[in-house]
Amino acid sequence: MKVEMAKCVLMLALIAVFVTATLAGKGEDDGDSFGMEGKDPMKMFKAMTGMMKKMMKGGFGREGDKVPATGHVLIISGKVSENAQKFSISLAHQKEENPYENSDVAFMFVCEFDQGKIVRSSIVNGNRSVAESTENLTSNKLQPIESGGEFTICILVGDDRFHVSIDDEAFCFFKFKMPVSEIKAISVSGDLDNVSQLDHRLIFPMLYPLVNKDVPDIVFSSFIPKEYKPGHVVLISGIASGNPEGEFVIMFNENGRSRQLIHLNPRFDQQSVVMNTMLDDDESSWADAEVQSQIFPFEINKPFKISAAFTDSDLKIATNGQYVMSFSLKQIELGDDQTIWEILTGFQIKAGEDIKIQITQVEHVETEDKDCQGFESCSVPNIY
Ligand SMILES: *[C@@H]1O[C@H](CO)[C@@H](O)[C@H](O)[C@H]1NC(C)=O
Ligand SMILES: *[C@@H]1O[C@H](CO)[C@@H](O)[C@H](O)[C@H]1NC(C)=O
Ligand SMILES: *[C@@H]1O[C@H](CO)[C@@H](O)[C@H](O)[C@H]1NC(C)=O
């Protein structure tokens, strides 16, 4: 695949670490039923969003990292190209250049515009399951997504099946054909102008992370239902185009708040990357901790890959193989007995000044090394 201003956006969110970690409890405890079947997942989702927001204001009681698979929801939003032929979402066993080859796929969701249908299937041990398109629908539409239109698809992991909704309407279900714990990578590809959201949330038995207030101008959102820990490296690949004097911001927000715990802001006009932290939810309340990079590794119309490494004490940034800067986590204002790890759950990206940001890949890597040594090398762009 060529990274260019292509219509095709390939997005892989490698969730190996947290999927293996979080779903570890599932196998031992397979008889455990969360009693979700028979309920309308979208109604549940909406009800929970409201309820849990209230309940969890003061924190929440997750049991370590044992987040069960059931109750996990993937939220994928994007915009389909004009005259699109198809695009697909696949929940695969491994990260693959081409998810259809050599890899098991727990769920493949292919939206075919010329056929007017959405085909669902899986590949287990190389065998493709019977394609479902008119079967197992919970909607009377075969294909509610429009060519040229925007969409939001939610895939909720139930007890024994995925429940899929499109634009807040229930659409179909798909029985598990292989254990969901084997899913390691999600890819969205095809005739799309952009993918603006690939969030993971836990909505059952509790909502986590909390939903943020709507922030304007978000071009990409990526939450995961897992706390970051020292040793966590986030890799973000993308491409910036448009105004060569523009800027964008990667915001590591506080769970459920618009406060930017870490603000990472490449400014093309100043040829510098600025990092800081907000004191509260107000965009004007910046700490005196601002740091600026000496180098500026970004170029308009050239792909970038950022490696953001969380150590015990710092967030270290490298881009395209080169160390850029670091920000001391001690600068972040915290409540009594609060640690940053309890409130850091994902990131969102905002673009300003007519710049366009397309995110092509996000990976979460959890290393054993709390110093994240060698994290720079993770930011060497992939060879396509
Ligand atoms: C896949 O198909 C082959 C050939 O039909 C069969 O031998 C094998 O058992 C199948 N594997 C599974 C997991 O169904
Ligand atoms: C869904 O569709 C497939 C393919 O037609 C069928 O085999 C299956 O029984 C249907 N029902 C469920 C619950 O998966
Ligand atoms: C997605 O692409 C469309 C068309 O190119 C554009 O209008 C829209 O602003 C883009 N959305 C994001 C979030 O980048």
Query: 213-384: same fold as 1-33+40-208?
Result: yes
Instruction: Write the residue with the smallest CA distance to atom 6 of ligand 1.
Output: 127
Do residues 164 and 42 lie in contact, with contact meaning Cβ atoms separated by under 8 Å?
Answer: no
Q: Which of 49-63, 135-149, 182-196, 252-266 has the lowest mean pLDDT?
A: 49-63
Q: How far is the CA of 239 from the centre of ligand 2 (A)?
A: 41
272 lines ligand 2 (CB under 6 A): no
Backbone region of residue 231 per phi and psi (left: phi > 0; alpha: psi in -120 to 50; beta: other values):
left
At residue 171, does pLDDT exceed 60?
Answer: yes
At residue 67, does pLDDT exceed 70?
Answer: no
Q: Cα 186 to the chain's mean position, in Å?
A: 9
Instruction: Write the residue with the smallest CA distance to atom 4 of ligand 1.
Output: 127
160 lines ligand 2 (CB under 6 A): no
Do residues 296 and 266 lie in contact, with contact meaning Cβ atoms separated by under 8 Å?
Answer: yes
**Has this prediction a pTM greater than 0.75?**
yes
Q: Which of 198-207, 259-268, 296-305, 319-328 has the lowest mean pLDDT?
A: 198-207
pLDDT category, 252, cuts 50, 70, 90?
Answer: very high
Do residues 104 and 92 lie in contact, with contact meaning Cβ atoms separated by under 8 Å?
Answer: yes
At the topology level of CATH, where does 213-384 sit? Jelly Rolls (2.60.120)
Residue pLDDT, tens place only, 28-63 = 222 223 334 444 444 444 433 333 333 322 222 233
Q: How far is the CA of 39 from the centre of ligand 2 (A)?
A: 19
Nearest to residue 221, comparing CAs of 233, 230, 232, 213?
213
Residue pLDDT, tens place only, 120-150 = 999 998 899 999 999 999 999 999 999 999 9
User: Which residues are bridge partners to 209 per DSSP?
Assistant: none
Q: How far is the CA of 193 from the centre of ligand 3 (A)?
A: 7
Amino acid 95: pLDDT: 63
Amino acid 49: pLDDT: 38
pLDDT category, 188, cuts 50, 70, 90?
Answer: confident
pLDDT category, 382, cuts 50, 70, 90?
Answer: low
Distance from C-alpha of 281 to C-alpha of 149, rounded to nearest angstrom: 33
- What are the extents of the domains in the chain? 1-33+40-208, 213-384
Architecture of domain 1-33+40-208: Sandwich (2.60)
pLDDT category, 208, cuts 50, 70, 90?
Answer: confident
Query: Which ligand 1 atom is nearest residue 127's CA?
Result: 1
At residue 265, does pLDDT exceed 50?
Answer: yes
132 lines ligand 2 (CB under 6 A): yes
pLDDT above 70: percentage of residues in the chain:
78
Amino acid 282: pLDDT: 81
314 lines ligand 2 (CB under 6 A): no
Distance from C-alpha of 284 to C-alpha of 4, rounded to nearest angstrom: 36
Q: How far is the CA of 10 from the centre of ligand 3 (A)?
A: 15
pLDDT category, 26, cuts 50, 70, 90?
Answer: very low
